[in-house]
Amino acid sequence: MVWDWLPTYAARFVEGFWITVQLFSLSLTFGFLLAIPIGLVQVTGPKWLGLIARGYCTLFRGTPLLIQLWLLYYGLGSIFPHFPALRESVIWPILIAAFPYAVVAFSLSVAAYEGHVMAGAFRSVPKNELEAGRAFGMGRFTLLWRIWLPRALQNVLPTLAGEAVLTLKSVPLASTITVFGVYGVGSIVRQDTYLIYEPLLFIAFIYLCLTGILVSLFGWLERRVPSESMK
């Protein structure tokens, strides 16, 4: 085992670590915020909106994330030359950065997986609890915020935790569009030093730590939410 490269690349690993953490947490947040309406319309209707939401989930769950990422980054990029005015526009600095594309692609993917989970979760909340809420005079949004969403989340937190872990482990894909997170830096080490195992083991170790932290966070959340058995 050769580890003498570690000090040389330490600063780049720290930078990559933050990129990984930022990409993951932003995607998870945006993705989840999207997942709530995507799940909800599949239960409440209107029917055409529910169908679109289901179609979205099927499309994004059914195609590789790598292809979605490339279609978004290189696909959109290939259209830019046809609109020279874009280069003068205020959004150009965002369009030429790679990180926003990664966040969008990962958020859309998270929204599809968690949207599907949330649809089932909303459906599983007993009707009579919602009726009780309405009988108390709750409006639609109060009902959603106070009863429907918390009760739905309570049922699926472990599933969401699993989806989040899978998303975290997809983050290395972003290195293919120049977003060099922990994995990207590790592959630079691999190509610079021709070492195979050490950089890979190091990347694996960091992901293991991140997954551990994530699982404990979800565990803490689950303990805060009262479950059926604790009633």
Partner 1 sequence: MNILKSLLASAVVAAGLGTSASAEIKLGLDSANYEPFYSRGADGEWTGWEIEIGNALCAAMEEDCTWVPIAWDGIIPALTAKKIDAIVGSMSITEERQKTISFSDKYYNTPAALIAAKTSDITSVADLAGKNIGVQVSTTHENYVNANFADGSNVKIYQDFNEHNFDLVAGRVDAVVADSLALSPFLQSSDGSAFEVKMNFKDDAIFGIGVGAGIRKEDTDLLAKFNAAIAKIRADGTYDAISAKYFDFDIYGG
Q: Rule CB under 8 A: which residues touch partner 1?
A: 74, 77-78, 80-81, 86-87, 95-96, 98, 175-176, 178, 180, 187-188, 190-192, 194, 196
Of 77 and 120, which has the nearer Cβ to partner 1? 77
Of 31 and 186, which has the nearer Cβ to partner 1? 186
Cα(132)–Cα(154) distance, rounded to whole angstroms? 18
CA 205 to chain centre: 21
Cα(76)–Cα(71) distance, rounded to whole angstroms? 7
Q: How far is the CB of 102 from partner 1 (least distance, A)?
A: 14
Q: How far is the CB of 111 from partner 1 (least distance, A)?
A: 26
Q: How far is the CB of 190 from partner 1 (least distance, A)?
A: 6
Of 25 and 191, which has the nearer Cβ to partner 1? 191
Q: How far is the CB of 28 from partner 1 (least distance, A)?
A: 25
Of 96 and 132, which has the nearer Cβ to partner 1? 96
Burial state string for 25-50 with b = 16 or more CB within 10 A and e = fewer than 16: ebbbebbbebbbebbbbbbeeeeeeb
Could you tell me which residues come within 8 angstroms of residue 138 by beta carbon, excluding any fewer than 6 positions away? 146, 147
Of 106 and 180, which has the nearer Cβ to partner 1? 180
Which residue in the block uniquely carries the two structure tokens 């990129």? 19
Q: How far is the CB of 83 from partner 1 (least distance, A)?
A: 10
Cα(103)–Cα(87) distance, rounded to whole angstroms? 22
